[in-house]
């Protein structure tokens, strides 16, 4: 099991001007846990709900890169389940986060109409893949914690 702790500064605008970084700002923290055991996507989701909160969302390049660093060092499967699923004709994060940042392989169009592969995974190259939800993979759970 690998723990990743991330704290993000919240700004009141879409971008943080330089002076914003010198101020004391509100922020929130969360932790991801890389689970080495292998489960199907729905089993992994249920496990995370029972023990943490849910499968993780990777809503920014920073989150994707930090998570990638952890799965490259761990003894996990080559791809790990994340909280991404294809439902009603579009990809959604299971925690309700908006899907703004995306890390699909360039030129890959299969994720636009995935057929039977309705579940999202992160590979050790930092690229998202849509896979058969019944595949048994390691996975990443997310849970918030108090920052202090």
- Domains in the chain (CATH in brackets) are 2-9+30-144 (3.10.100.10)
What pLDDT score was predicted for residue 30? 60
Q: How many CA atoms lie within 13 A of 65 on its CB side?
A: 3
What is the mean pLDDT, run by run of 10 residues, along the chain of 148 residues? 46 42 50 89 95 89 89 90 92 92 84 80 95 96 64
Using CA atoms, how far apart are residues 43 and 63, in angstroms rounded to an integer?
23
What pLDDT score was predicted for residue 23? 46
Using CA atoms, how far apart are residues 82 and 147, in angstroms rounded to an integer?
24
Instruction: Report the predicted TM-score, pTM, of the whole model to 2 decimal places.
Output: 0.77
What pLDDT score was predicted for residue 112? 73
Using CA atoms, how far apart are residues 33 and 120, in angstroms rounded to an integer?
17
What pLDDT score was predicted for residue 107? 75
Q: How many helices (H) and strands (E) does the chain have?
A: 2, 8
Please, what is the Cα angle at 53 between 34 and 32, to 5 degrees? 30
Using CA atoms, how far apart are residues 119 and 81, in angstroms rounded to an integer?
8
What pLDDT score was predicted for residue 145? 55
| Phi-psi domain of 133 (left: phi exceeds 0; alpha: psi -120 through 50; beta: other) | alpha
Q: Are 118 and 130 in contact (CB under 8 A)?
A: yes
Using CA atoms, how far apart are residues 87 and 79, in angstroms rounded to an integer?
21
**Containing H/E element for 50?**
helix 41-51
């Amino acid at each position: 099991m690998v723990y990743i702790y991330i704290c993000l500064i919240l700004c009141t605008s879409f971008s943080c001007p330089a002076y914003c970084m010198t101020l004391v700002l509100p922020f929130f923290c969360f932790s991801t846990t890389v689970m080495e055991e292998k489960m199907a996507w729905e089993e992994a989701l249920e496990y995370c709900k029972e023990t943490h909160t849910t499968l993780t969302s990777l809503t920014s390049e920073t989150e994707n890169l930090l998570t990638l660093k952890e799965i490259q060092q761990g003894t996990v499967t080559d791809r790990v389940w994340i909280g991404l699923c294809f439902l009603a004709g579009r990809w959604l994060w299971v925690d309700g986060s908006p899907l703004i940042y995306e890390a699909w392989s360039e030129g890959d169009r299969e994720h636009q109409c995935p057929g039977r592969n309705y579940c999202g995974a992160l590979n050790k190259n930092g690229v998202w893949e849509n896979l058969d939800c019944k595949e048994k993979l390691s996975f990443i759970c997310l849970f918030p914690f108090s920052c202090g």
